[in-house]
């Protein structure tokens, strides 16, 4: 059992059952993008929300307990979410398979962040869209959730550089209020992006 398996191995949804506010506020940008991948999806709150909006969703995570809770949450809301037990750092991801992909607060070591980003982009078909909200390096001083190690946070300038080869629909970095379960609560410093592959 890995750290995330242990974290999600509770009855309570530690990040809540409601979708991430960025995903909820910008979901219209995924309209018409039917087949969506939700990466590092944890307990399934975003995947279930997207499924409720009519998307065909596959949730990827490497915590089996998280995926089990995703299935439970989907059942509770009367929707279907496909689940895939996958380690984004090591396992092969599908290539040019999905119409769109989302990732919210996926935590990876700095030296591997760009590789994960690129593999997620590669999993989307040409013309597809990618949406992410990430904790920036400034999140450390907020102490309202996320890794306590700056090496697992994202540098906004680096993320913007990764987005440059694609059409940037939305890019933001700054303070946001997040109330997501017991572990993400209060003023946070995030990076948001919506990009489109050509």
Residues across the chain = 198
User: What residues contact residue 68 under an 8 Å CB cut-off, 6+ apart?
Assistant: none
Q: What is the distance between the alpha carbons of residues 53 and 197, in angstroms, rounded to a whole number?
A: 23
**Averaged pLDDT, 14-39:** 97
User: What residues contact residue 157 under an 8 Å CB cut-off, 6+ apart?
Assistant: none
Residue 10: how many other CB atoms lie within 10 Å? 12
pLDDT band, very low/low/confident/very high, at 1 (cuts 50, 70, 90): low
pTM: 0.96
Which of 7-16, 73-82, 86-95 is predicted least confidently? Answer: 7-16
Question: Quick one: DSSP state of residue 20?
Answer: P
Q: What is the distance between the alpha carbons of residues 32 and 87, in angstroms, rounded to a whole number?
A: 28
Residue 3 predicted with pLDDT over 90 = no
pLDDT band, very low/low/confident/very high, at 164 (cuts 50, 70, 90): very high
pLDDT band, very low/low/confident/very high, at 79 (cuts 50, 70, 90): very high
């Amino acid at each position: 059992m890995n750290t995330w398996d242990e974290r999600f191995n509770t009855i309570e949804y530690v990040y809540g059952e409601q979708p991430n506010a960025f995903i909820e506020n910008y979901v219209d940008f995924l309209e018409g993008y039917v087949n969506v991948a939700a990466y590092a999806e944890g307990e399934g709150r975003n995947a279930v929300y997207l499924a409720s909006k009519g998307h065909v969703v596959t949730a990827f995570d490497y915590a089996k307990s998280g995926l089990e809770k995703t299935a439970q949450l989907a059942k509770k809301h009367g929707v279907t979410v496909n689940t895939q037990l996958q380690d984004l750092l090591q396992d092969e991801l599908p290539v040019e398979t999905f119409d769109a992909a989302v990732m919210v607060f996926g935590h990876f070591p700095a030296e591997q962040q760009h590789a994960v980003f690129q593999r997620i982009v590669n999993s989307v078909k040409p013309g597809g869209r990618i949406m992410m909200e990430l904790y920036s390096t400034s999140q450390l001083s907020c102490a309202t959730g996320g890794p306590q190690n700056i090496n697992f946070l994202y540098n906004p300038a680096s993320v913007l550089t990764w987005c440059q080869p694609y059409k940037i629909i939305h890019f933001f970095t700054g303070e946001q209020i997040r109330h997501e379960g017991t572990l993400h609560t209060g003023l946070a410093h995030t990076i948001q992006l919506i990009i489109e592959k050509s």
